[in-house]
Amino acid sequence: MNVNSNIDWKTISQKTRGLAQVNRLPETISYNIIYAVIGINIATNQPISDVQGYINNLMVLFVAMMMSKMQASVADALHDYRVDKENPEKSYIARSVQILGENNLYSLLAIELTVGLSLWGWLAFGTDKPIFLLMGALVAIFGFVYSYPPRIKELGFLNHIVTTGVDVFCAILPVSLLIGLRFNQETYFLLAAIFLYILGYHIAHQAADTYFDRQSGLSTFTQQIGVGRSILLSAATTIVAAIFTWLGGYPISAIGLGIGGLAYGLLLWQIVGKSEKEKSLTVSRWFSISLWATYLNGVVAVGLLL
């Protein structure tokens, strides 16, 4: 008897791809890995091979952080299903929700939330640092209310402050604290630079959805200032981050961030004189948060290593 003949490989493939998409893994996994590398470098300024004693806890921390972020992505996919369905650049997320089923995704959300918080708690208990549980709780809470009331997504600039703050203080900084970060002036300077360029790509990411969010009745920061000014702001924060890293003694990071700032400038030039819909579509085609965030975080990580 051919057992394989009873297996619907096409359905399995579709659901596996759908799981990855509603969890935003194709978009986020690469730059979140680099977040961990940056966190290690901030704490030690040593090659990764010199922190082998922390590997197990670092793996637990990474899984905890990803679980907490993934539940936020699932919550967003569920809440914004109808909005995403009308957005040609995000309709694949709505299709994934249809394939997997809303009830199944609510169960997945609960599982990811529970596993994530459990791992944060285990880490806090194992290292005798309760702050890890606090960080995990903040990621979970902010991740959920990003889409659900009070819906941070529609709270203007505060949305980007919170989203960026979660990345810096609940994804990068926990890694540094786990290894034994000692705060000094250089640390604050570096964290400020990291905050700025991450803020830049979060704003640009939302700028791509400006027109479709407006059509769906959503109110966002990039609607308030316009797509063009949003990209200009992304360029400015990235250039300032480049200046900070240069002054901090990380020329490779500074040059890489400077190139990123110029790339935003090129994108801004591409959308001058276009309608809001055309601007949003152009930004969507040119800007991929997976590629931009991986590149920007990558050049910072390399600059800190060398």
Query: Is the pLDDT higher at 90 or at 233?
Result: 233
Q: CA 141 to CA 297: how far, in whole Å?
A: 25
Q: What is the pLDDT of residue 2?
A: 54
In a domain, 96, yes or no: yes
Query: Is the pLDDT assigned to residue 63 strictly greater than 90?
Result: yes
* Within-domain flag for 5: no
- Same domain for 90 and 132? yes
Domain around 256:
184-306
- Assess whether pLDDT exceeds 60 at residue 175: yes
Task: Look at residue 1 in the predicted model and tell me its pLDDT.
Answer: 47
Average pLDDT over residues 215-223: 92
Which of 37-46, 69-78, 95-104 has the lowest average pLDDT?
A: 37-46
Output the average pLDDT for the chain.
Answer: 92
Assigned domain for 271 exists: yes
Residue 184 predicted with pLDDT over 60: yes
Q: Find, among 121, 14, 109, the residue nearest to 69 by Cα.
A: 109
Domain boundary among 160, 182, 204: 182
Using CA atoms, how far residue 306 sits from 52, 245, 293, in Å, is 19, 13, 20
The Cβ of residue 172 has, within 10 Å, a number of other Cβ atoms equal to: 26
Q: Is 120 contained in some domain?
A: yes
Give the domain CATH number at 58: 1.10.357.140
Distance, in Å, from the CA atom of 106 to the CA atom of 65, rounded to the nearest integer, reads 19
State how many domains the chain has: 2
46-55, 114-123, 297-306: segment of lowest average pLDDT: 46-55
**In this model, does residue 3 exceed pLDDT 90?**
no
Q: b/e map of 268-302 (b: 16 or more CB within 10 Å)?
A: beebeeeebeebbbbbbebbebeebbbbbbbbbbb
CA distance 3 to 118: 38
End position of a domain, from candidates 126, 150, 182: 182
Residue 7: inside a domain, yes or no? no
pLDDT at 247: 93
Residues 252 and 291 in one domain: yes
Average pLDDT estimate for 10-17: 91
- 88: pLDDT strictly greater than 90: no
Q: Which tokens hold the place of 277?
A: 């819909």
Burial class (CB in 10 A: 0-12, 13-18, 19+), 63: middle
What would the two tokens of residue 186 be?
């250089």
Beta carbons of 39 and 135 less than 8 angstroms apart:
no
pLDDT at position 47 over 80: no
Check which CATH number belongs to the domain holding 300 and give it: 1.20.120
The pLDDT of residue 242 is above 60: yes
Whether residue 200 sits in one domain with residue 156? no
Phi, psi of 107 (to 5 degrees): -65, -40
Domain boundary among 182, 198, 226: 182
Name the packing angle between helices 157-167 and 131-145 (round to 10°): 140
**pLDDT at residue 4, rounded to an integer:** 56
Residues 152 and 138: beta-carbon distance below 8 Å = no
pLDDT band for 45, please (50, 70, 90 cuts).
Answer: low
Report the range of poorest mean pLDDT among 46-50, 171-175, 215-219, 228-232: 46-50
CB burial class (10 A; 0-12, 13-18, 19+) of residue 20?
A: middle
